[in-house]
Amino acid sequence: MAEKRVAIIGGGAAGLMAALVARRFGAQVTLLEKNPRVGKKLLATGNGRCNFTNMDLDLGHFHGTRPPFAQGALSQLTGAQTLAFFRDLGIEPREEEAGKIFPASGQASSVLDVLRYQVEHEGVEVVCDATAKSLIKNGDEFTIHTSAGTFNAQAVVIATGGKAGPQFGSTGDGYNLAISFGHRLVEPFPALVQLRLKAPFLKGIAGVKFVGQASIHQGHLLINQAEGEILFTNYGISGPPILALSRTAGEIQAQHKEALLKVSLLPNQQTTDVAQYLERRFREQGTKTAEFSLVGFINKRLIPVLLKEANIELKEKAARINTIQTAALAKLLTAWTFTITGTNGWTAAQVTAGGLDVRDIDSQTLGSRLVPGLYFAGEIIDIDGDCGGYNLQWAWSSGFTAGLSAALYAT
């Protein structure tokens, strides 16, 4: 009997995994990729080093409208199985801080090289420069119209990614293919991305870096917080804790509500303790100007901005700064509050929050509940992960699940 055909649309992390697994489970597989080569985004991951999974894959690291949905695929290809899969391909894992796993080579390109080799070695037909334009189903057969011709298959996996990083090929095309069959979309927004802030002085402090704490608030309510290296930029703020909080900010803004960012330059210090310290410092440095009295305590580029915000004249003698001004400065140092005007756009985002509504997808097979034989994998689905290898793990696990299910359906 002739092998049945599975077509995979999108040759990113999820599509490559789905193609390989579908092939291993006996299907004849065609992988259709829009770019001249597969896996362009993989090369950019982990700053070129590819943080491909994490030792701690607790479900709490995955997000979406219904995060438990992710468990179905994550338990079909676990973290340990992912490490074994890549070891088998030649990728020796190396653990770094916070359980992050990178290839020992330190090169994202090595992950892509072994995947490309394996896919071709095991007989997957890879067709590049093939942008899928439409997908239709007639009887038991799907027809995919692409810029490189028409392809038929009994089962199809859509793994076209979300909208993050359109420069790598993911421009949200898969949403339209799925919507054409009646799938619902949870409005996508950029995540793991820098925040834009409303403040007139940003250009003056752009480039200032510090280890601090950041938190997102809705009115008086603390919603989420993170610590680490923070960087002011001319549009707002960046750094790992900011990227980690960007999803929360995006979610609040998607509800058309105001999100506030509070930044502490002195993490884990109480405002009252800082005020007492400043009072003592201003007494001891009393003959100096307010501006000079803070040199050695606060980054010099921040001093004029903070003093202005606290209503303190730069040239005022430190001894003359009153308690109200000191309290205002202490508040700024421990909870500098900014209105978030938005996030940077898709080009800067590492991941897409939102995507295909999981209510229309079976969590165990990643099959469409609307169209038999249609499967989804990767970032196109309304699941995203924290920074730290979680998004690629989702791509591997969901690619594995969808590839396996598609092969079993087709054969």
Ligand X SMILES: Cc1cc2nc3c(=O)[nH]c(=O)nc-3n(C[C@H](O)[C@H](O)[C@H](O)COP(=O)(O)OP(=O)(O)OC[C@H]3O[C@@H](n4cnc5c(N)ncnc54)[C@H](O)[C@@H]3O)c2cc1C
Q: Does 395 bind ligand X (CB under 6 A)?
A: yes
Q: Does 163 bind ligand X (CB under 6 A)?
A: no
Rounded CA-CA distance 88/34 in Å is: 28
What is the CB-side half-sphere exposure of residue 178 using CA atoms within 13 A?
32
Q: Does 132 bind ligand X (CB under 6 A)?
A: yes
Question: How far, in whole angstroms, is CA 331 from its chain's centroid?
Answer: 32
Of the candidates 19, 29, 32, 77, which one interacts with ligand X according to CB under 6 A? Answer: 32
What is the CB-side half-sphere exposure of residue 77 using CA atoms within 13 A?
27
**Which structure tokens are listed for 161?**
């990614």
Q: Which residue has the tokens 């250009």?
A: 203
Span from 55-63, 166-174, 234-242, 313-321 in contact with ligand X (CB under 6 A): 166-174
Q: Does 170 bind ligand X (CB under 6 A)?
A: yes
With contact defined as beta carbons under 8 Å apart, do 45 and 370 qualify? no
Choose between 143 and 269: whose C-beta lies nearer to ligand X. Answer: 143
Q: Does 350 bind ligand X (CB under 6 A)?
A: yes
Report the length, in residues, of the chain. Answer: 411
Q: Does 15 bind ligand X (CB under 6 A)?
A: yes
Q: How far is the CB of 402 from ligand X (least distance, A)?
A: 10
Q: How far is the CB of 40 from ligand X (least distance, A)?
A: 6
Of the candidates 392, 402, 404, 406, which one interacts with ligand X according to CB under 6 A? Answer: 392
CA distance from start to end of the chain: 10
Q: Does 161 bind ligand X (CB under 6 A)?
A: yes
Q: How far is the CB of 61 from ligand X (least distance, A)?
A: 10
Longest dimension (CA), the chain: 93
Of the candidates 5, 7, 19, 41, which one interacts with ligand X according to CB under 6 A? Answer: 41
Q: Does 217 bind ligand X (CB under 6 A)?
A: no
Of the candidates 28, 46, 62, 85, which one interacts with ligand X according to CB under 6 A? Answer: 46
Which helix (H) or strand (E) segment holds residue 145: the answer is: strand 141-146
Rounded CA-CA distance 385/289 in Å is: 48
Give residues with Cβ within 8 angstroms of 320, minimum separation 6: none
* Residue closest to 380 by CA, chosen among 390, 369, 366: 366
Of the candidates 3, 26, 44, 81, which one interacts with ligand X according to CB under 6 A? Answer: 44
Span from 43-51, 82-90, 222-230, 261-269 in contact with ligand X (CB under 6 A): 43-51
What is the 8-class DSSP label of residue 286? Answer: T
Sign of the C-alpha dihedral, residues 171, 174, 179, 185? negative
Q: How far is the CB of 126 from ligand X (least distance, A)?
A: 11
With contact defined as beta carbons under 8 Å apart, do 262 and 212 qualify? no
Residues 64-83 that bind ligand X (CB under 6 A): none
Choose between 291 and 379: whose C-beta lies nearer to ligand X. Answer: 379
Span from 41-49, 179-187, 233-241, 278-286 in contact with ligand X (CB under 6 A): 41-49
* Residue closest to 314 by CA, chosen among 331, 295, 330, 297: 295
Choose between 14 and 197: whose C-beta lies nearer to ligand X. Answer: 14
Q: How far is the CB of 351 from ligand X (least distance, A)?
A: 5
Given the rule CB under 6 A, which residues bind ligand X? 9-15, 32-35, 40-41, 44-46, 50-51, 131-132, 159-161, 164-165, 168-170, 173, 350-351, 378-379, 389-392, 395
